[in-house]
Structure 1
Amino acid sequence: MKPFLFYLTLPFFLLIAACVTQEQFLGLENRVAVMERENSRQAALQKNKAGVLDQLTSDVKQDAKSTRENYAELKYEVHQLKERFYQVQGQMEALQHTLGTHNKRRQEEFENRLERLDNAIAKNYEKVIAIEKYMGFEPSEVTPVLGGQKDSGQGMAKDTEDGLYTFAKKLFDDGDRENARLQFENYINTYPRSKKAGNARFWIAECYYVEKWYEKAILEYQKVLETYPKSNKVAAARLKQGYAFAALGETANARLILKELIKRYPKSKEAKYAKKKLKSLK
């Protein structure tokens, strides 16, 4: 029975095979090849994704481990900082207690130092007066004091020309540079033709020089040279202008001015100081 069926259907299959052309067979073969390549590619992608996933999983585990370790280290450092804070706090409390205990003794030492400093200032003040006299500057006008109290200057006749100048000069000598400048400016504005107007302008420049505001001092000294060319402060103004340039590090300008001073006033005390300053600038 079975051989009979085989022989019966064989012509049918042969007929179907005869219907498939060579071209159609090749097309089918190509499609199968493409599908096989696509399957291979998909398999490779799946394998690659699996590798990436494994790597990510490993990295996450490593990061988690590092995070736990860092957290432990950070927690330990915070603990150490707290311990250090408590130690410093204890030291501060002990120091405050010590300062409170010895406060009286330290205050006495401080007062003694102030007294010694005051004595040193008084001695230096006497030296300044001597130098002013030697260089031809006005000596400091100090009113005799009764009962050990300094004259505040309120008793001076500031409404007169000489009184206002003396008052301004005393402010300068007492170290009140700002008010001294204001009073010297007031003097110049009130008595512009006074013989001491140039001197007042010089002392304004000196206020700036003492305060180490050398740029302003240079400008004020220049006003003495230009506005009051016959003032007895011209040589001194030129000298201090050179000093101011030197203090600013402008040695070329300093040398130029000091050499001009020596040329104009070769026999003056200022020329002597200028020569000494020039040697130090070399």
Structure 2
Amino acid sequence: MELEKQNRELLKVNQDMLRAKENISSRVDGLDQTRRDDELALRGQYAGLAAQMQRQQEASQMLSGRLEEVEYLLKQKLGRFEENQVKNRQRMDRMATDTAAVQKRLDSIDQYLNLEGAKAQKPKTPVSSSAAAPRPASDQALYLEAKKSFDAGNLEAARNGFEKLITGYPTSPQADNAQFWIGETYYREKWYEKAILEYQKVIEKYPYGNKIPAALLKQGLAFLNIGETNNARLVLKELVAKHPSTNESKIAKQKLESL
């Protein structure tokens, strides 16, 4: 009996040990599976992060390349703009020099003709020293008379009238208008180089006058008429930038779109 009892106890112990072993084995297997799952998850996350970093690096390289390209293009445009400005100034200087030379020759011719006329003409009666000097016309009268000559197509008379107004009344409210119309007389005569110089006087001498937009527009068109497209584009762009709400600006935009 005692032996049988011991055998039963021993069998029970063996069964308990077997169950404990199975339980431990099951738990170990569960831990191994959890570890493998965690490892797979970590590998997936690492792969995702690596791919994301690769994409970000590629995007950064692409952006850097684009920025370098834009910087290069801007430097090129700036260089061309500065070069055009230098050429424009040189061209304007040459035109001013040429115009001054032509004007000097014309003045010499006028002086010669006046001297010859004075020699040939003898006064029939002496002029009384007590005669009253003619009363000078007002700036408004000079302007209206010169504008009337311009509208009639008498460009030389108009030009002389406007120049007389500017000389006699340099601070007149009509001075900037007169200067603009002087440019218009040359423009109508298709002497575009001279017109450009006269429009420039409007821009420089009367920066706050109401003829600035018109002077810029006509100066740009004059450049186009002599084939100076780059200079025309610069002038028209300046007009659009500085006077965007004017009718001249709208015309300049349309002209720029066609260039």
TM-score by length of 1: 0.43
**Which has the higher relative contact order, 1 or 2, with Cα contacts under 8 A spaced 6 or more apart?**
2
TM-score by length of 2: 0.47
Larger radius of gyration: 1
